[in-house]
Amino acid sequence: MIFRSIQHRRLMKKLRVLIVFALLYGFWILLSGFFTPFLLTAGLFCSLGVTLLCLRLGLLDSEDRGLRWNLKPAGYLIWLIVEIIKSSWQVTRIILHPALPISPSLVRFRPSQTTALGLVVHAHSITLTPGTYTVEASADEFLVHGLTSSGADGDVDSETDRRVRALELR
């Protein structure tokens, strides 16, 4: 019975490795959009390398760390895309305005995230949003540059901070 359980775990681990590799390679092909032999081969080796790195780091070993189907990250991604579109529109209006009403500013604030991944997601979410840029990021403090003072001030105790914190708590 124990031998069968060990075999089952090994089989599940191999399946997880195969799924991660297939997802990475599929994502590569989706983002590439080109189907030349060189790019397909490069994507194959990159996906294989990342999969082996994840395996070596032990990220695919236990079932509790495996691929989890959770809608929170998808919901956050959709919300972030909408925010990027809205911010792009605001930056476009500022740039096309005859008076060019910019007021660059730097703002320091303390993020509420407790994990390294949460801090990285929060910092990158700020940088991905047009008009703002995370200059420095640490566990204690973020330094954010904004095209306008209201844009930079909007990152302090923001909806982004709350949503990334909610992702951490899943």
Residue 89 has a pLDDT of: 95
CB 160 within 8 A of CB 119: no
Average pLDDT rounded to a whole number, residues 53-70: 66
Residue 170 has a pLDDT of: 59
Helix axes 116-128, 71-96, angle to 10 degrees: 30
Structure tokens at 108: 């320091």
Q: Residue 132: beta bridge partners?
A: 146
End-to-end C-alpha distance for the chain, whole angstroms: 34
Other C-beta atoms within 10 Å of 130: how many?
19
Note the pLDDT tens digit of each residue in 62-109.
Answer: 654 434 556 778 889 999 999 999 999 999 999 998 888 888 999 999
Residue 167 has a pLDDT of: 85
Report the run of H or E that residue 135 belongs to, with start and end: strand 132-137
Note the pLDDT tens digit of each residue in 17-44.
Answer: 999 999 999 999 998 888 899 999 999 9
pLDDT over 70 at 49, yes or no = yes
Q: What is the pTM of this model?
A: 0.64
Name the residue ranges covered by the structural domains of the chain. Answer: 2-65, 71-168
Note the pLDDT tens digit of each residue in 128-166.
Answer: 999 999 999 998 999 999 988 877 777 677 888 899 988
Give CA–CA dist 161/163, Å, rounded.
Answer: 6
Per the rule left: phi > 0, alpha: psi between -120 and 50, beta: everything else, 96 is alpha
